[in-house]
Amino acid sequence: MLKESLHLVPARRDHYQAKMLFVVFIASLGMFFSAALSAYVIIRRQSFEPLSVSYLELRLPVSLWLSTLVLLATSFFLERACWFVRRQLLEPFQKNLIYAAIMSVLFVLIQSVGLEELYRIHFAVNDGSHKAYGMSFTLAFVHILHVLGGVGYIGYVIVQSYRGRYDHERFWAVKHCAGYWHFLDVVWIAMLVTFIVVR
């Protein structure tokens, strides 16, 4: 019993270090996106000066709204994967990881359509509104780059799951992967709210 407890000490230390690194990483990304959204608000407000000039209102492509549902579905399947691995139900655990991977790739594809439309409108308008479309494109593009990192993370977790690396005691990588995607959800919804309020 004592030998088994001593064997778990390095694993617990690694888990603690990984958790701290994850928290710092998410906090730094949170500050970055907060600053980027603040810059969008400032630039958009300046685009409406003087107020007597009429500007094109920011209209988000339908594909961006559809991609939001797919993004939330990705987090849903990852959360279910965590639920199953905690209970040592490895087959449904792996299935939900695969579902999450499919949803994440689908999100990238749908989001790409919306990005293309924002990019096109940016160069089509001639007034200060092009700044809003340019900034919204930039923010969505940076977000999708982080999504691509999340897709790679899901792929890594899937490979490790088939190597038998996770069980009801050791699944922190799965938990962090789900947490990362929850963070992407929050950031994307915050972007949409900002785009709606500051049109």
Half-sphere exposure of 105 (CA within 13 A, CB side): 8
State how far the Cα of 196 lies from the Cα of 51, in Å rounded to an integer. Answer: 19
Neighbours of 76 (CB within 10 A): 17
Q: Is 15 helix (H, G, I), strand (E, B) or coil?
A: helix
How far from the centroid of its chain's Cα atoms is residue 118's Cα?
Answer: 19
CATH number of 2-53+60-197: 1.20.120.80
Neighbours of 158 (CB within 10 A): 18
Q: What pTM value is reported for the model?
A: 0.84
Nearest residue to 103 (alpha-carbon basis) of 60, 140, 150: 150
Q: Tell me the pLDDT of the chain (199 aa) as tens digits.
A: 434 444 444 556 666 777 888 889 889 989 989 998 888 888 777 665 555 455 667 788 899 999 999 999 999 999 999 999 999 999 999 999 999 999 999 999 999 999 999 888 777 776 666 677 788 888 999 999 999 999 999 999 999 999 999 988 889 899 999 999 999 999 999 999 988 887 6
Nearest residue to 68 (alpha-carbon basis) of 126, 147, 173: 147
pLDDT for 135: 83
Tokens in use for 192?
């949409």
Q: Is 56 helix (H, G, I), strand (E, B) or coil?
A: coil
Residue 179 CA: distances (Å) to CA of 27, 153, 155: 12, 11, 15
Domain boundaries, the chain: 2-53+60-197
Residue 62 CA: distances (Å) to CA of 68, 115, 117, 133: 10, 11, 10, 15
Nearest residue to 39 (alpha-carbon basis) of 147, 144, 131, 141: 131
State how far the Cα of 17 lies from the Cα of 2, in Å rounded to an integer. Answer: 23
